[in-house]
Amino acid sequence: MHRLYKLDFKTIDKEKIKTITFLDPDYIYIPYKQDINLTKIHKNELINGYKSSISGSLVGLKMGVFNNLYNNAFIIANDFKEMDVKNNKKMKITLENIKRVLLDNNDIELLNKFKIDNIDNIVVSAINDEVNVYNKMYLLKENISIYLDLIDELRMLFKCNNNYLVIKNNESFIIDECLNVIGTYPSITLTLVEDLYLLENKDFLLDKLNITGNTLYLTIDDIDKLCKYLILIDNTTNIITITDNVTCKIIRCKKYTLLSDILNYTYPKLKNYHIIVNGLMRGFEIDNPTYYILTDDIISIHLIKKLPKYNTECLNCGKCIAVCPVGVNPIKGINLDKCIDCGLCTFFCPASINLREKIKGDNHE
Ligand code: SF4
Ligand code: SF4
């Protein structure tokens, strides 16, 4: 059985979570691969493999950071007309169609999840491990019936008898909503789990739930993507949680918006904060949000006044070895390639040594 931890970060009062939208940025930025002969751009128009999230005109190039890599970007100025390229029709839910849309969208990670024969269980997880990040809960809250319809169709498609929707038992703002509608789907079991770190990880979750056999494991983000690809729900926006650890805002934004524009809109008076992207446990600090562009891999921003002080004096206490869930010994450099980048060693180190970053660096050498 995998060991799981309750982290002692202060969580935000759920009443203080605000949900807002930022759907009219002046500009978006799409990765440049090669020149294009377009000046007028429609919403959903493919540009070097990326669908534009707005309509507008191409006005130049700028350096940006996509998926943590610097790359030139096309600047598209919004004309606020939302002129759309023609959409296709809603697709029938078949395995062939699922595979086709995933290939068309170059979503190989999700495609690989469907390469299982004789599915015994379907597990859909709405768990976000990172503290004060609520994207999956919010997605579920917004679209619960659409998602449950799709899970039910997958159940029928794979003739699967064991189907679970898993959420944390302290997510009170969604549990009632789930309970209200789940009765319409008698073949899907709502499963509540404790708020323990690493249950977002497939192996840890299945272990905790004692689920064995061939399991199709999907996250709520996977279900959301499938809905967008198959049922053709608007796919031009992303959800991001931004928190200063006192307040928390869940924002629906246009894809490819600059993080600095989102921050100016949501926290306009921001000064002297460190910007941590993708969580306090597994995230990374960025210096300049005017380069970072919102893509699917960015889920959250934590704004914090002080960073933990990192020390270099190891006390040889062995805690980092004891807490590691996959048997890495960061001190002796044993099993470094097994690291799942969970951050527990850094979190528990009494000398505040950033072992996680060190291991990542060592693994990249
Ligand atoms: S970050 Fe890596 S080494 Fe550290 S506890 Fe997690 S898995 Fe173990
Ligand atoms: S937890 Fe920190 S202080 Fe303790 S052995 Fe590991 S690196 Fe050293």
| 355 Cβ inside 6 Å of ligand 1 | yes
**Residue 1 belongs to a domain:** no
What is the C-alpha separation between 331 and 234, in angstroms, rounded? 48
Do 102 and 161 have their domain in common? yes
> Nearest Cα to 188, choosing from 126, 243, 249, 129?
126
Domain closes at, from 304, 330, 351: 304
Q: Tens of pLDDT along 195-252?
A: 999 999 999 999 999 999 999 999 999 999 999 999 878 889 999 999 998 899 999 9
Domain that holds residue 166: 95-231
Total domain count for the chain?
A: 3
Final residue belonging to a domain, choices 256, 279, 304: 304
CA of 8 to the centre of ligand 1 (A): 18
353 lines ligand 1 (CB under 6 A): no
The predicted pLDDT at position 35 comes to 84
> 102 and 131: one domain?
yes
Cα 351 to the center of its chain, rounded Å: 30
Q: Is residue 202 part of a domain?
A: yes
- Looking at the structure, tell me whether residues 31 and 49 fall in a common domain: yes
In tens, the pLDDT along 25-65 reads 999 999 998 888 878 899 989 898 889 999 999 999 999 99
Query: Is 4 inside a domain boundary?
Result: no
Share of the chain above pLDDT 70, in %: 96
Q: How far is the CA of 39 from the centre of ligand 2 (A)?
A: 56
- Same domain (yes/no): 119, 79: no
Same domain, 114 and 67: no
Residue with tokens 């996680």: 356
b/e per residue, 267-284, with b = 16+ CB within 10 A? beeeeeeebbbbbbbebe
pLDDT at position 85: 65
Q: Which residues pair with 20 in a beta bridge?
A: 251
Q: Give the Cα separation of 340 and 44 in Å (integer).
A: 35
pLDDT at 260: 96
CATH code of the domain containing 205 = 3.40.50.11540
**Whole-number Å distance between alpha carbons of 113 and 107:** 10
56 lines ligand 1 (CB under 6 A): no
Do 196 and 298 lie in one domain? The reply is no
Q: Identify the pLDDT of residue 311.
A: 67
Looking at the CA of residue 340, tell me the nearest atom of ligand 1. 7
Query: Is residue 198 one of the residues assigned to a domain?
Result: yes
pLDDT, averaged across the chain: 91
| pLDDT at 232 (0 to 100) | 74
Of 342, 348, 360, best ligand 1 pocket probe by most atoms within 8 Å of the beta carbon: 342
111 and 203 part of one domain: yes
Grouping H, G, I as helix, E, B as strand and the rest as coil, residue 269 is coil
At residue 133 the predicted structure's pLDDT band, cuts being 50, 70 and 90, is very high
Q: Express each pLDDT in 291-349 by its tens digit.
A: 999 999 999 999 998 776 666 789 999 999 999 999 999 999 999 999 999 999 999 99
Which residue, by CA, sits nearest to atom 8 of ligand 2? 314
Q: Are 338 and 312 in contact (CB under 8 A)?
A: no
Ligand 1 mutation pick, 5, 332, 359, max ligand atoms within 8 A of CB? 359
Structure confidence at residue 87 (pLDDT): 61
pLDDT at position 357 is 87
Q: Is 2 part of a structural domain of the chain?
A: no
CA–centroid distance, 147 to ligand 2, in Å, is: 44
Whether 150 maps to a domain, the answer reads yes
Q: Which two tokens stand for residue 351?
A: 């000398």
Q: How far apart are CA 139 and CA 223, in angstroms?
A: 10
Q: Whose CA is nearest to atom 8 of ligand 1?
A: 324
Residues 40 and 79 in one domain: yes
Please check whether residues 115 and 225 belong to one and the same domain.
yes
Is 311 a member of any domain? no
The preferred substitution site among 310, 312, 316 for testing ligand 2, maximizing ligand atoms within 8 Å of CB, is 316
Residue 294 is assigned to a structural domain of this protein: yes
Q: Are residues 103 and 225 in the same domain?
A: yes
Residues 148 and 262 in one domain: no
For the cut 80, the answer to whether the pLDDT of residue 88 exceeds it is no
Strand 189-193 relative to strand 69-78, pairing: unpaired
pLDDT top residue among 254 and 68 = 254
Task: Select from 184, 211, 231 the last residue of a domain.
Answer: 231
> According to the model, what pLDDT value does residue 122 have?
98
Asked if residue 136 has pLDDT above 70, the reply is yes
Is the same domain home to 104 and 219?
yes
Q: Is the pLDDT at 18 greater than 70, yes or no?
A: yes
Site residues for ligand 2, CB cut-off 6 Å = 314-320, 331, 349-351, 353, 355
| Structure confidence at residue 105 (pLDDT) | 86
